[in-house]
Amino acid sequence: MSSSARTAVALFSGGLDSMLACRLIADQGIRVVALHFDIGFGISEAKRAWLEQAATEARAELHIVDIADQFIGEILYNPKHGYGSAFNPCIDCHANMFRHAERYRQDHGYDFLISGEVLGERPFSQNRQALGIVAKESAQDRILRPLSAKLLEPSLAEQKGWVKRDDLEAISGRSRKRQLQLVAQYGISAYESPAGGCLYTDPGFAMRLKEASRYTPPDSEEIKLLKIGRHLRLPEGAKLIIGRNAEENHALLEASCSRYHRIEMPEGLIGPVSLLQKSVSGADRALAAQLILTYARSKPTEYYTLQIDQTPITAQPLASKSEAAQYLILGA
Ligand code: SF4
């Protein structure tokens, strides 16, 4: 069979390494189907547009696959191989994505899998041992890592001659020098995500998630909420989220939040959009009303009536925002 009839399935974050991995294989005349996995943060229109552009420049066909519920339910809170420096279970996450990709490959009768992993680029998840674990727990030698291929045992695709090993790379370590040479060679223009990297690696986000997982571990809806607003933990355990600006207020209004009540402000009072966890005690409910009023354009001496789950509650703001700050969750 000629190489032009072969198809590779790529793990595609849209970052530079995954783009180059696709391009190296596509340039050998192999069709590349790039799978981008949503593991909990959703795909905004801007992100989708950027992924499409990145895939086009990488000469790959983009498919977005939502595995958020499975990833959060089975991997995020109980990773066999632990976490990196934040809340990122990268070894388990990679193995999980490769298992999904392998099923996709088998279902479609495609030939092998690729990723942009680079030997030694990330100390926790891309050392030789971690790459071995990921392959062992997923698709074994069906996995080819084009950027480091010449430093690794030949994969099935190389052994069978589906790809030319000589045209693959021998990149290792954290320097991006060789990647940037390839960017220039291929004329790739857009390779930095405007949305930034994976939030599970972000220390502030990880702090919020760690804190929340001590109560009821967030599901996929709640993980999206962790990105938005001020987060406060009330003394009897309820979580309150308060928008900090118009953009966050809009995002909170749009968000799905089945574990939360949306609070209705009194008519005529300008204030933030806020969400209060449904499992809330009477004391936390009363304090939540005071806190929301504290972040609204309220007068300190006045009483206001808000609606929480269609039940009115009358309260006065706290004396100052610094009094409210004691309830803020770190990383918020
Ligand atoms: S950085 Fe995020 S997406 Fe990438 S492997 Fe780690 S947890 Fe998964």
pTM for this structure? 0.93
Residue with tokens 């009094």: 323
Please report, rounded to a whole number, the percentage of residues in the chain having pLDDT higher than 70: 97
Separation of CA 226 and ligand 1 centre (Å): 17
State how far the alpha carbon of 330 is from the alpha carbons of 170, 211, 257, 276, in Å: 42, 8, 22, 18
On the question of pLDDT at 332 being above 60, the answer is: no
Q: How confident is the model at residue 151 (pLDDT cuts 50, 70, 90)?
A: very high
Separation of CA 13 and ligand 1 centre (Å): 9
Residue with tokens 């595995």: 67
pLDDT of residue 185: 95
What does pLDDT average to over the chain? Answer: 95
pLDDT of residue 132: 97
pLDDT, mean of residues 72-92: 97
pLDDT of residue 189: 86
Task: Say if ligand 1 is within 6 A of residue 93 CB.
Answer: yes
Task: Say if ligand 1 is within 6 A of residue 155 CB.
Answer: no
Q: Strand pairing partners for 37?
A: 65
Separation of CA 39 and ligand 1 centre (Å): 9
Q: Is 165 exposed, middle or buried (0-12, 13-18, 19+ CB in 10 A)?
A: middle
For the chain, which domains are there? 3-186 (3.40.50.620), 217-327 (no CATH)
Q: Strands, E, within the chain: which ranges?
A: 7-11, 31-38, 61-66, 112-114, 143-144, 230-233, 239-242, 260-264, 274-277, 304-308, 311-315
Q: Which range is least confidently modeled, 144-158, 180-194, 231-245, 255-269?
A: 180-194
On the question of pLDDT at 81 being above 60, the answer is: yes
pLDDT of residue 197: 84
Q: DSSP labels for 288-320? A: HHHHHHHTTT--TT--EEEEETTEEEEE---S-
Q: Which atom of ligand 1 is nearest to the CA of 198?
A: 2
Separation of CA 151 and ligand 1 centre (Å): 23
pLDDT of residue 4: 54
Task: Say if ligand 1 is within 6 A of residue 87 CB.
Answer: no
Separation of CA 75 and ligand 1 centre (Å): 11
Residue nearest to atom 4 of ligand 1 (CA): 90
SS3 238: coil
pLDDT, mean of residues 215-243: 96
pLDDT, mean of residues 54-75: 97
